[in-house]
Amino acid sequence: MENIMQLVEAQYADFSRQERKVALKVLQEPEKIQQLSINHLAASVGVSNATITRFVKKMQCANFQEFKLRLAKLVPVAPSLPTKGTIADDVYNFYQKVLQATQQLLDPATLAAVVQVIQHSQRLYLFGLGSSGYTANEMTQRLIRMGITAFAMTDSHMMYITSGIMQPGDTVLVLSTSGNTVEVNQAVTVAKKNGAQIIAITGFSHSPLQEQSDLAVVVKNSNFVDNSRFVNSQFALTYVLDIITTMLLENEHYRTKMDQTIEMIMNNKLKNH
């Protein structure tokens, strides 16, 4: 039988708005769910008992009690331990959970294949909107310093226009936590039609983006770890990009180019002082 937590994550995008409230509570606080009655859970997330009943049936459980039993087998109730309780501790624990969960999802063979595609690309385009756009810009700078022809596309119109002129040999690296951003996915469809290879780094294993991709790296969606909104949603994506960067720099040519670029930048700074 499939891991109940993985099943919740996999089907999250298909839930109704009310069912998603239940799903988030399950993913963020699985230990607490085991101690709640259906009435208490409904009240805590602001939904009806009927919503929870529909949710657990989608999770292939006959009722809420069976759902809790499956959850208990996977996530034992942790004893309450004293902690320092500082915000720094909270953020550290959050990052640790995201990193550990992402590491478990990563497939070394897929990462190696991603690196191979990047190395053999004629042109590499990085797509990202919002926060993912900032990450795309940062990664593009790294790639350019290695001598890789890379372009960051952080505007939906430019994504679509650029996709229209792509050719076989081009690659699109798409950064999207949800994998469900309509504008991004429309541009990806055009790029794929024109022969570009599609690599996705996303927080959903079942999404329109993942379905269109030739290669997909799935990371832990930080929204499923905690309900805190202050923590960097790009953390898991950045972790994967750091791995890809490190793998690329095993290539002597890229490493030499990077060293030359850094030296040039440093020399330019010295001249201006």
- Banded pLDDT at 230 (limits 50, 70, 90): low
Closest by CA to 175, choosing from 218, 136, 232, 125, is 136
Would strands 197-202 and 150-153 be described as parallel, antiparallel, or unpaired? unpaired
* Residue 251 CB contacts under 8 Å (≥ 6 apart), including other chains: 119
| Domains of the chain as residue ranges with CATH | 4-74 (1.10.10.10), 99-268 (3.40.50.10490)
pLDDT grade for 80, boundaries at 50, 70 and 90? very low
Task: State the virtual CA torsion across 242, 247, 249, 253 in degrees, nearest 10.
Answer: -150
Q: What is the DSSP string of 97-139?
A: HHHHHHHHH--HHHHHHHHHHHHT-SEEEEE--THHHHHHHHH
Q: Using pLDDT thresholds of 50, 70 and 90, give the confidence band for residue 242.
A: very high
Mean pLDDT within 31-35: 88
Question: Mean pLDDT, to the nearest integer, of 258-273?
Answer: 75
Average pLDDT over residues 123-148: 96
Beta bridge partners of 178: none
Yes or no: say if 195 and 168 are a contact pair by the CB < 8 Å rule.
yes
Predicted pLDDT of residue 133: 95
Q: What whole-number distance in Å separates Cα of residue 128 and Cα of residue 133?
A: 4
pLDDT tier, 1 (very low <50, low <70, confident <90, very high otherwise) = very low
Dist CA 135 CA 129 (whole Å): 9
Sign of CA dihedral 261, 171, 162, 210: negative
Q: How does pLDDT run across 138-166, given as a tens digit for each residue?
A: 999 999 999 999 999 999 999 999 999 99
Q: Is residue 123 a contact partner of residue 263, using CB atoms and an 8 Å limit?
A: no
* Residues 77, 55: Cα–Cα separation, whole Å: 22
CA distance 74 to 101: 15
Q: What is the pLDDT of residues 198-218, one digit of tens each?
A: 999 999 888 899 999 999 999
Find out whether 105 and 219 touch, Cβ atoms under 8 Å: yes
Q: Flag whether the pTM goes above 0.75.
A: yes
The candidate with the shortest Cα–Cα distance to 179, out of 207, 138, 205, is: 207
